Structure 1
Amino acid sequence: MSPVDAVLGRLRTASSLTIVCHDDPDPDALSAAIALELLARESGVETVDILYSGTIAHQQNRAFVDLFDVELEHYSQDRFETNDLVAFVDHSYPGRNNSVPRETDLDLVFDHHPPDRPIPADVVDVREEYGTTATILAEYFRRSRIEITPRIASALLFGIHRERLDFYNRPTDLEYEIGTYLHGRADSDLLRELYGASFLPSSVDAFANVLHNRVRRGPCLVSCIGRLENRVALAQAADFLLVIDGIETVLVCGIVRDQVFLSARTIRTDLDLSDLLERLFGDVGSAGGHEDMAGGQLPLAVIDDGATTDVELVASMRRYVEDRFFGALEHSTGKIDA
């Protein structure tokens, strides 16, 4: 049985579905969620709830939710247990980058991240060869009789664009193929409006600090800044730094409340950022993501060696994070020119 038949067959047995996005959902997760919602409703599912934890702070993520009228609810255990089926999109494991209890069994999982252990779900559609989860969900419309709408085509196309940095950051042939399929069915005016979404003032302030504090060694950039209001600005800044001429790998870090957050990007095909950050910082915090796009979180106490000011904290963070990261890159390539 094909994945499409297995998923649609399972949906036809249910009257309600809960879709869980990972924490701080991005356009890949959000577009996959509303695509699955359409598939479910067209299969006879009457109630569909989309849950998430964390925040939606990135300007394009907020615009995405508004322009596509995405109905989201903050995760609660009571809400989670309400419906017949539970599906994960763009993540695979309960308790990892989500608020779902670790021992939970799932019904459906859609993801493009490589699994590191068996996934606790009845129907699993994980395609490591795909660059986005949006690409996977788009295939369900191509391989079934369910007609894709301009809203969903636009959402999936934008999810693919953002996940692959507008086709700059290691898309697969499948993203180009599906992009062509979606392009002819998408609302171009809606996409133009989405790309014009404005930044939060706090993000602009963070960008200024990231640019000022950046340190370059050969094709690599690291920037450690002080406190900021939301960690999304770090991911936005990392995306921006990666398009600087001659830059291949970027790490940006900053302090949100009592945590140090890391955001890394690379265009190198021989470097696995998820594995690198896990090896460097997994013993004192958490880290993970993709080969080309990863992040991490460390307790502030790990880098705080008695600092009494933000300036001293940034200096401590640079000593701890910057030196480790550059050192690991030098080891992996043999040399990083100063």
Structure 2
Amino acid sequence: MGHAICEELEAHGENFIVIDKNESRTETLRDEKFDASVGDISHKDLIEKISMPPTIFVVSSDILANISFTERVRKQYPNVTIFARAADESTKEELVKKGANHVILSQEIVSNVVYDKIKKLEDSADAQKLLRVLKETEEKLAIIVHDNPDPDALASALALKYIGNGVNVESDILYGRGIGHQENRSFVNLLDIELKKIEDTDLNRYNKYAFIDTVPDANNSASVTPNIIIDHHEVTESIPDADFVLIDANCGSTAAIMTKFIRELNVDIPKEIASALLYGIRSDTQDFTRNTSPADLTAAAYLYPHVNYELLKQITSSVISVGTLNVLGDAIKNRKMRGSYLLSNVGFIRDSDTLSQAADYLLRLEGVTTAVVYGIIEDSGIYISARTKDIRVSMGEVLKEAFKDVGSAGGHNGMAAAQIPLGIFDSVKDKDSLIYLCEEAVTKRFLAVVGAEDEK
């Protein structure tokens, strides 16, 4: 039974350790590349020797040892989810009394069913923990998204605000700079989302802070200690301690995570919230063609019956702005190729959202596998947007490595963004010189990381 569970967990990409008292069996597991250690659950000091994970399986053939170990774990770790093996109905009842969340009868075990039950219990536990943290908000909650929030961030923030309202928690959605993309503006206007700028807000008015679709010090302007962090981007830096943290890089959108919470909490979902979440998922996965996970598809299937289709149609049919068109023209005109890498400096811009639209468009050009578009916002910084269809490249990691000592960056395998403060160019007053130095800095650093300095 234990081996079957190991194989199923590995097949789903889960991290786990195995403890077995049989040294020969442990060696076999190690030969199969499992992280296995020798240990005996009947020894009372075992609990002190291991770092207790959030979910454990107690599936030894010694049923009495399973009962005793389950009791000891439950007393010392009340929040751990315990799956325990029983021999019959009587030992099943005993395990439940001792604190097992789910009891596995040997004759009933099917590994993939067990895995599904694990995820269901974990999802339910996460949702209930989030609700507990929200209920502990004594005054007001600040929901913080990244500086230029996209539909995924806005929909997720709206969902958290809605969940909070259900337990009488008042909240505001805060962002840093601006919303330039025409579809994003339509999204905000049509859904009537009330937003506040961080720079115009006294953050001391709030006693809890939630970072949604972002993490502290990653493309957001809030310098506060988080209580809640929910995100789907890969994170390489350490995350500060918080009351609730859920970062699931296997999801293609944060909206899918928030949809899962709504499902697990069994709350009614208004058409506006459902429409926002579905659009957030579709937007971040490019209509389920980029970084799409089963969680995104499951969330979308749940949301579809609840959405306002006319509202979705209005959002997606928004017109392109003149400013976006001008940036796109500059990106095409100023493009430079290094092998299959396209880089384009569009000079001074007013809205960084236009860069991602230009990068998306340029990636469609023949012979281009990676597009990087960057520009300068006066008195703010250099903004960079990158897209790639090269599966060997993690664009988020590339930008982090390229600009780690001069700015900040983040993203996924196929898309990423970076920002460099203008402070490093304080002595440069001439705009043409600044544009030239910007190009030198961005191009050299990016090409050095991807190993394309000498390509023509």
What is the TM-score of this pair, normalised by structure 1? 0.87
Query: The residue matched to 2:229 in structure 1 has which SS?
Result: strand
Relative to 1, partners in 2 of residues 1:164 and 1:244: Cα closer, same or farther, differing over 3 Å? Answer: farther
1:30 aligns with 2:154: yes
1:14 aligns with 2:137: yes
- Tell me the equivalent position of 1:61: 184
- Bigger relative contact order, structure 1 or 2 (CA pairs below 8 A, ≥6 apart): 1
Relative to 1, partners in 2 of residues 1:317 and 1:14: Cα closer, same or farther, differing over 3 Å? Answer: closer
Give 1:130 shift.
1.1
1:129 aligns with 2:234: no
> 2:382 aligned to 215, 240, 260, which one?
260
Query: The residue matched to 2:343 in structure 1 has which SS?
Result: strand
Pairwise mapping of residues 249-328 of structure 1 onto structure 2 (< 5 A)? 249-258=370-379, 259-299=381-421, 310=432, 314-328=435-449
> 2:168 aligned to 27, 38, 44, which one?
44
Distance 2:175 2:440 in 1: 35
- Tell me the equivalent position of 2:331: 210
Distance 1:77 1:230 in 2: 19
Give 1:244 shift.
3.4
Relative to 1, partners in 2 of residues 1:97 and 1:161: Cα closer, same or farther, differing over 3 Å? Answer: same
Pairwise mapping of residues 87-126 of structure 1 onto structure 2 (< 5 A)? 87-93=210-216, 95-101=217-223, 104-115=224-235, 116-126=237-247
Larger Rg: 2
Distance 2:451 2:287 in 1: 29
Count of aligned pairs: 330
What is the TM-score of this pair, normalised by structure 2? 0.66
Report if the CA contact (8 A) 1:305-1:316 is conserved.
no
Give 1:253 shift.
1.1
Distance 2:133 2:385 in 1: 37
> Which deviations, in whole Å up to 9, do the C-alpha atoms of 1:240-294 show, x marking residues without a partner?
2223355321100112215322111123332122221222222233333333222
Query: The residue matched to 1:81 in structure 2 has which SS?
Result: helix
> Which deviations, in whole Å up to 9, do the C-alpha atoms of 1:8-59 show, x marking residues without a partner?
12223436322111211111110000001111112232x2211111111111
Unmatched segments (≥5 aa) in structure 1: none
Relative to 1, partners in 2 of residues 1:282 and 1:68: Cα closer, same or farther, differing over 3 Å? Answer: same
Q: Pairwise CA RMSD of aligned residues?
A: 2.7
Relative to 1, partners in 2 of residues 1:138 and 1:302: Cα closer, same or farther, differing over 3 Å? Answer: same
Report if the CA contact (8 A) 2:363-2:371 is conserved.
yes
Unmatched segments (≥5 aa) in structure 2: 1-78, 80-124
In structure 1, give the amino acid aligned to 2:137: A
Give 1:128 shift.
1.9
Distance 1:129 1:156 in 2: 17
In structure 2, give the amino acid aligned to 1:55: G
Percent identical among aligned pairs is 33
> Which deviations, in whole Å up to 9, do the C-alpha atoms of 1:107-147 show, x marking residues without a partner?
22111123321333111122121121111001012212111
Relative to 1, partners in 2 of residues 1:76 and 1:298: Cα closer, same or farther, differing over 3 Å? Answer: closer
Relative to 1, partners in 2 of residues 1:283 and 1:228: Cα closer, same or farther, differing over 3 Å? Answer: same
